[in-house]
Amino acid sequence: MSLVPRLAIRKVERANPGKKFWKDVNVVKRDDGLAILLDKLPIRTPLKKPLVVPENKPLLADAIALEWNLLHSSKDALVKRYRTPLTQLASRVIDMREPNATTPSRDTTISNVMRYLHTDTLIFYAPTTPEEHRTPNKKTLRELQVAEAEPVVEWLTTVLWPGTKIRYNDGDLGFLATAQQPPETEKAIREWLEGLTDWDLVALEMATLSSKSLLIAARLVAEWSVDVGVGEKSWGIEDAARAASVEVRYQTMIWGEVEDTHDVDKEDVRRQLGAAWLMALGSDK
């Protein structure tokens, strides 16, 4: 069954035209995919390319249209770019085909995310807490980290990259003793990245930057991408956000949450992971 109905044209009614030069935002099916139009004018990328998303990503197209429908003025589109995050990501995909000073190439993008592998947040374990310093009936930071990391690493090394080995950075050995991943693991991960579509690669880049973890990003994208072809869609945004924020959760459990700091950061990570998730998501029909 299709994830969403396939519609040739979907229209988002305007909420508040304000000083917009457009009245309506439309998603229109074309030969090359789904174009987002402001009245009859296509939204364009920084390189002036029409913003067109693949036909199998109707939810993404609708979400981009909603971003523009919710803008209060034409000026917002230029100076409040944080209000159109999906537009920025989709533009990044399209302009990546012609790399320039502001849009890195595929190879550069892959190299940038690979840098996270050896210092990946997911596989850094805190030192073991001495028994006399443990709080009764509460898990230590290390125990929480192990509980989040081990299932993800097991899935990655058996489902996504079968036969690979991922080494943990063990705080008991000192934080300067960063574990280097085996060359064959690096090779397998890089080859997998090279096989991703541009849409999945940018989704993975976004998830990596927001979680500080290539491994978390890889599982999220692989679980939900219509093009990767693995995963049961059982591990999503909340799981990824929880795995990326073990230390913060541990600190707030002990000291409490700082209003307008921890709560805002938590929602921002979810927002960014959600954007990555939507970029990778697709319909198979």
82, 119: one domain = no
Burial 111-136 (b: 16+ CB within 10 A, else e): eebbebbeebbbbbbbeeeeeeeeee
- What is the tally of structural domains in the chain? 2
78, 160: one domain = no
Q: What is the pTM of this model?
A: 0.87
Kindly tell me the sign of the dihedral angle through the C-alpha atoms of 160, 217, 96, 7: positive
84, 144: one domain = no
Q: What's the confidence (pLDDT) of residue 6?
A: 40
Strands annotated E in the chain = 9-12, 25-30, 33-38, 41-42, 52-53, 124-125, 169-170
Q: What's the confidence (pLDDT) of residue 177?
A: 64
pLDDT, tens digit (0-9, with 9 covering 90-100), for 171-226: 888 766 677 899 999 999 999 999 999 999 999 999 999 999 999 999 999 999 99
pLDDT, tens digit (0-9, with 9 covering 90-100), for 34-75: 999 999 999 999 999 999 999 999 999 999 999 999 888 878
Domain end among 69, 96, 123: 96
80, 190: one domain = no
Q: Residue 50: helix, strand or coil by DSSP?
A: strand
Residue span of the structural domain in which 30 resides: 6-96
54, 116: one domain = no
| Residues 96, 106 contacting (CB under 8 angstroms) | yes
Q: At what angle do helices 237-244 and 214-224 cross, to 10 degrees?
A: 170
285 in any annotated domain = no
Token digits for 167?
């080494």
pLDDT, tens digit (0-9, with 9 covering 90-100), for 128-177: 988 888 888 788 999 999 999 999 999 999 999 999 999 999 888 876 66
37, 118: one domain = no
137, 233: one domain = yes
